[in-house]
Amino acid sequence: MTELLLVGVGQMGRPYLEAALRIGCTVRAVESRAAFPGLPVGTGADFYQVDNGLDESWLLGALQAAEQGPPQGVVAFAEAHVTAAALLQDRLGVPGPSLHAATISRNKGLQRMSCAARGVSQPEFLLVPSIADAREWMAERLPVVVKPLTFGGSVGVEQVSTIEELDSAIERRGEGKLLVEGAVSGPEFSWEALVRDGSVLFENVTAKETTEPPYFVELTHRCGHRFEDPKVAQQVQEFTRLVLDAIGMRTGLAHLEFRLGPDGPVLMEVAVRTPGDHIAEAVCLTYGFDLYEGVVRLALGLPLDDLIQREPVQFAAVHHPDCPPGRITGIEGLSEIEAHPFVQRVSLNRGIGDLVKPLSSSSERIGYALVVAPTPEAREETLAFIQARLRITTVLDG
Ligand SMILES: Nc1ncnc2c1ncn2[C@@H]1O[C@H](COP(=O)(O)OP(=O)(O)OP(=O)(O)O)[C@@H](O)[C@H]1O
Ligand SMILES: [Mg+2]
């Protein structure tokens, strides 16, 4: 019997479990104590508990699960699972992104260094032990972006545009290793790809909308984006391959983010794990095949030819509605939106009386809507419909 070991499941990793069981694997899955109670028992999967969500803890769980007999494949779900999975893949000699790519995925400083050495287009950057060490560098290059090396969800990422903001950032942020970068302008995209032995088997471009500086919180993702200008399409093709080469990507799912500047794509970051914000589900809907099954098959060394579709069959988007900060006093239009034929799902995580903070990271968003439309135009109309009809009113606490 083929066995798959899944490091991390959460909610959004469930489709890996389902895909593996569907294709007849037995599954061992590692999950943290906090998420353990929500796991789907009785599905035939065996679950192994780890103490907490730290990278190191996942490794112990993954090794303990592997002790029961070596699995034929190992899949990492999210960013914190990448290192444990790569260590195990390396030890067992099964397919994976590579220890090199996984290590780089977990550290934005290593990303900048390895990409600089390969000539990947990326912002000017400086890595410093403490933000105060970068004061002069930043002051000469404003606006700049300051970011921690290992967080996600835009936590701790901020644009600094004036000397006053610079001094306030130095005061607020204190000690600790940090990356500072020139601020790149231009529209932002992500790129999701299934890769085997460094070769791209499937790829998708997602157009992004974020909040304005200083915090750049992701609000809308539109999958199946096509660059109309063939020169840009070619640049993106070459750029994405160069990034994979720079990080030493072997086999699995790659997710990179870039801005399109006047001279072409500029790297924001790269990761070898499932993209967040339901993008993987939106990719599945857009292309009409199960991307998660694709990842499971790659991990097990199985063929993909009869699975993947390279052209969109419909157009999915994930939209995170926003509202003014304050306490929620009213939510209108929800049932109208849910009834829209191109709205697949709406999920709000706040209700009347709940507090909404000013948006500075992804976790502060109040929910999302998943849209699936037959054409890009119908998708735009649906997104406009949501924005017009969903009214979330707030008051500031007195
Ligand atoms: N040098 C830069 N120039 C312009 N914008 C930037 C720069 N660096 C980061 N950003 C913006 O900040 C966002 C978050 O940065 P980054 O992706 O590095 O952090 P993150 O916490 O990993 O984000 P997430 O997990 O949400 O993808 C980017 O998607 C981009 O919009
Ligand atoms: Mg990012």
Q: Which residues line ligand 1 (CB under 6 A)?
A: 123, 145, 147, 151-155, 157, 181, 183-184, 188, 210, 216, 218, 257, 268-269, 362
- Would you identify the CATH topology of the domain 187-310? D-amino Acid Aminotransferase; Chain A, domain 1 (3.30.470)
Quote the pTM value.
0.96
CA 257–ligand 1 middle distance (angstroms): 8
* Ligand 1 pocket mutation pick from 154, 185, 365 by most atoms within 8 angstroms of CB: 154
Q: Check residue 140 and give its pLDDT.
A: 97
Ligand 1 closest atom vs CA 184: 3
H helices within the chain, ranges in order?
Answer: 14-22, 55-66, 82-92, 99-105, 108-118, 135-139, 163-173, 230-247, 279-287, 291-300, 334-338, 376-389
Same fold, 124-182 and 317-395: no
pLDDT, residue 139, reads 97
At residue 24, the pLDDT reads 95
- Cα(154) to centroid(ligand 2), Å: 6
Q: Which of 110, 144, 145 to mutate to test the pocket of ligand 1 (most atoms within 8 A of CB)?
A: 145
**Cα of 25 from ligand 2 centre, angstroms:** 33
pLDDT at 37: 87
Q: Phi, psi at residue 303, to the nearest 5°? A: -65, 155
Nearest CA to ligand 1 atom 22: 152
Which residue's CA is the nearest one to ligand 1's atom 27? 153
Please tell me the residue having the least CA distance from ligand 1 atom 9: 268
Residues 86, 96 contacting (CB under 8 angstroms): yes
CATH code, 3-94: 3.40.50.20
179-207: buried (b, 16+ CB within 10 Å) or exposed (e) per residue? Answer: bbbbbbeeebbbbbbbbbeeebbbbbbbb
Q: Please enumerate, as own/partner, the contacts of 144-148 that have beta carbons within 8 Å and a separation of 24 or more.
A: 144/180, 144/181, 144/182, 144/183, 145/180, 145/181, 145/182, 145/183, 146/173, 146/178, 146/179, 146/180, 146/181, 147/108, 147/178, 147/179, 147/180, 147/181, 148/108, 148/176, 148/178, 148/179
Atom of ligand 1 nearest to the CA of 210: 31
Question: Rounded to the nearest 10 degrees, what angle do helices 279-287 and 291-300 cross at?
Answer: 100
> How many angstroms separate the alpha carbon of residue 211 from the centre of ligand 2?
13
Cα 239 to ligand 1 centre (Å):
18
Q: What 3-state class would DSSP assign to 65? A: helix
**What is the predicted pLDDT for the residue at 332?**
96
User: Which ligand is in closest contact with the Cα of 187?
Assistant: 1
What is the spatial distance between Cα 113 and Cα 127, in angstroms, rounded to a whole number? Answer: 9
C-alpha 268 to ligand 2 mean position (Å): 7
pLDDT at 42: 79
Residue 96 Cα to ligand 2 midpoint, Å, equals: 22
Position 180, amino acid: V
Ligand nearest the Cα of residue 147 is 1
Ligand showing the shortest atom-to-Cα distance for residue 153: 1
pLDDT, position 1: 85
Q: Which atom of ligand 1 is nearest to the CA of 218?
A: 26
Distance 217 CA to ligand 1 centre (A): 8
Ligand with minimal distance to 144 CA? 1
Question: d(Cα 268, Cα 122) in Å, to the nearest integer?
Answer: 7
Q: Which atom of ligand 1 is nearest to the CA of 108?
A: 18
Q: What integer pLDDT is reported at residue 153 of this predicted model? A: 74
Position 44 scores a pLDDT of 81
Distance CA 374, CA 393 (A): 32
Q: Where are the domains of the chain?
A: 3-94, 124-182, 187-310, 317-395
124-182 — its CATH code? Answer: 3.30.1490.20
With DSSP H G I counted as helix, E B as strand and the rest as coil, what are the percentages for the chain, rounded to 5?
35, 30, 35
> Are 193 and 237 a contacting pair, CB within 8 Å?
no
Protein residue with least CA distance to atom 1, ligand 1: 183
Say how many Å lie between the CA of residue 210 and the centre of ligand 1. 10
Say if CB 240 and CB 270 are below 8 A apart: no
Query: pLDDT value at position 36?
Result: 87
**CA-to-CA separations, 215 to 160, 218, 229, in angstroms, rounded:** 10, 9, 30
Which mean pLDDT values do the consecutive 10-residue runs of the chain (398 residues) have?
A: 94 94 95 89 87 93 94 97 98 98 96 98 97 96 94 85 95 90 97 98 98 93 98 98 98 98 97 97 98 98 97 98 94 97 97 94 95 98 97 90
Residues 108/149, Cβ–Cβ less than 8 Å:
yes
* pLDDT on residue 315: 98
Q: Which CATH superfamily is domain 317-395 in?
A: ATP-grasp fold, B domain (3.30.470.20)
